Structure 1
Amino acid sequence: MTLIEAIILGIIQGLTEFLPVSSSGHLELGAIVLGLETSNNLLFSIIVHAATALSTIVVFRKEILTLIKDLFAFKWNESTEYIAKIAVSMIPVFIVGVFFEDKVEALFSGQILLVSSMLFVTGLLLLISHYTKPKDGSVTFGKSIIIGLAQAIAIMPGISRSGSTITTALFLGVDRSKAARFSFLMVLPPILGAALLKTLELMDSGTTLGSNISTLALIAGFIAAFVAGLLACTWMIRLVRKGKLVYFAIYCFVIAFVGIVATFI
């Protein structure tokens, strides 16, 4: 992977992590289009996902600081309840990550037909959510586990994490702004946890990063994903509030169609 290719994929990740069009799917398609080997893509994916997690922290820094401050008050309050709901939402993705890691990694192997099909599913979710009547509900413990299930399913390349979790929250009657906020904050622990575990695994095994991905390329991809993520996160919050997700449904359908056609050509 060259420096330019790393930057391109980093920008793709930064934009698509927050925009409901599947970051993992676009990273996989981007790697295929650029003609890159996919054996080390999962590691690069984790690196740039960590970058977008950092951009989320920057965008929601005030909310996160409030949550942390209230948490260390050691009292059951609104913040600790919110953190507990995020913890509950992590259960499904934790189970998938622990018991099905090898099967998940096998999905990231140039399977353009699978990615395209899942992008079509993402498009359907966004389209249906466009016609869902806006409500002003909040995230409950019951809803958080269901939203967490959507996040676990979004491990599939082509299923948008933000798209699936936000649309699921909307289907459950959650207010648009609250749905976007919960969706972006709930992903922080799984992403940072996965990045940490992968790093510890590499350190323990002494495995190198791979001959086709240099340290400089990883750094460039990280920076590109972080900057793009800042812009996309801010934009996405506004789009959710305005109910403009249908445009991304159309985009997903187009990309899915092109990918499926390309598979059989």
Structure 2
Amino acid sequence: MNTLEALILGIVQGLTEFLPVSSSGHIELGTYLLNVQSSDNLIFAILVHGATALSTIVVFRRDILDLLRGLLKFSWNEETQFVAKIVISMIPVGLAGVLYEDEIEQLFGGNVVFVALMLLVTGTLLLITWFTKDRDGSVTWWKALIIGIAQAIAILPGISRSGATITTALYLGVEKNKATRFSFLMVLPPIIGAMLLKFKDIAEAPELATNIPVSVLITGFVAAFVAGLIACQWMISIVRKGKLIYFAYYCYAIAIITLIFYFIS
């Protein structure tokens, strides 16, 4: 991987982590088109995911500080309940990762037809939001679990995590700003947990980390972080304005182009 490829993949990761178009799907398509295997390099994967997690922390820094202050009060307050709901939302994705790790990994590695089909699913989820009425509900305990199931399904390349979780929350009647806030904050623990597991894999088998120049790694990290900052704030505005349908068209277009390109090449 060279610097230009790292720049491109970093931007793709940063943008698509938050926009409802599937970061894993776009990384799969990007590595396929660029003919690189960055998804197999644990160091690069850790850095770009860490960059998007950091951009989330920056955008929601006040919310995170409020949650921490609430937790330190050691009482069953609003902040503690919110964190507890995030923990509940983590259960499905944690179980999926533990029970079906090998099966999930087999779906990655250049399976662009599967990615295209899942992008069609993502597009349909986004399209349906156009017909849902605005609600003013909150994230309840059972809604947190259902949103968590949506996040687990979004492990599949081509299913957008933000798209699946936010649309699920909207379908359940959660108010737009609350749906976006919960969706973005609930992803932090799984990302950090996945990063720690990858560090563990590298510690146990250093050969898994292929030799990529430091300059390339830094380029990927900075690109993912800056793109993540932009995309995270943009996505908040998109949900508030009810413009998710435009990304449905995008997902359909990318899926159809991918299928055409694959079968004629």
| Structure 2: tracts of 5 or more residues without a match | none
Matched, 1:87 2:116: no
Kindly state the Cα deviation for residue 62 of structure 1 after the two structures are TM-superposed.
0.4
Kindly indicate whether the alpha-carbon contact (under 8 Å) linking 2:56 and 2:228 is maintained by their aligned counterparts in 1.
Answer: yes
Return the letter of the residue paired with 1:130: W
Name the structure 1 match of 2:234: 235
Normalising by structure 2, we get a TM-score of 0.96
Name the structure 1 match of 2:64: 64
CA distance in 2, matches of 1:236, 1:45: 23
CA distance in 1, matches of 2:43, 2:94: 18
Return the letter of the residue paired with 2:232: C
Return the letter of the residue paired with 1:261: I
**Identity of counterpart residues, as a percentage?**
61
Kindly indicate whether the alpha-carbon contact (under 8 Å) linking 1:42 and 1:108 is maintained by their aligned counterparts in 2.
Answer: no
How many equivalent pairs are there? Answer: 264
Kindly state the Cα deviation for residue 216 of structure 1 after the two structures are TM-superposed.
2.9
Kindly indicate whether the alpha-carbon contact (under 8 Å) linking 1:47 and 1:218 is maintained by their aligned counterparts in 2.
Answer: yes
CA distance in 1, matches of 2:160, 2:114: 13
Look up the SS of the partner of 2:207 in the other structure: coil
Return the letter of the residue paired with 1:93: V
Normalising by structure 1, we get a TM-score of 0.96
Name the structure 2 match of 1:219: 218
Kindly indicate whether the alpha-carbon contact (under 8 Å) linking 1:116 and 1:259 is maintained by their aligned counterparts in 2.
Answer: yes
CA distance in 1, matches of 2:193, 2:79: 21
Matched, 1:126 2:139: no
Return the letter of the residue paired with 2:257: V
Kindly indicate whether the alpha-carbon contact (under 8 Å) linking 1:42 and 1:105 is maintained by their aligned counterparts in 2.
Answer: no
* Equivalent residues in 2 for 1:17-56, closer than 5 Å: 17-37=17-37, 40=40, 44-56=44-56
Return the letter of the residue paired with 1:240: V
Look up the SS of the partner of 1:133 in the other structure: coil
Name the structure 2 match of 1:190: 190
Return the letter of the residue paired with 1:155: I
Kindly state the Cα deviation for residue 215 of structure 1 after the two structures are TM-superposed.
3.5
Change (3 A) 1:205 1:37: closer
Kindly indicate whether the alpha-carbon contact (under 8 Å) linking 2:27 and 2:39 is maintained by their aligned counterparts in 1.
Answer: no
Look up the SS of the partner of 1:264 in the other structure: helix
CA distance in 1, matches of 2:221, 2:188: 16
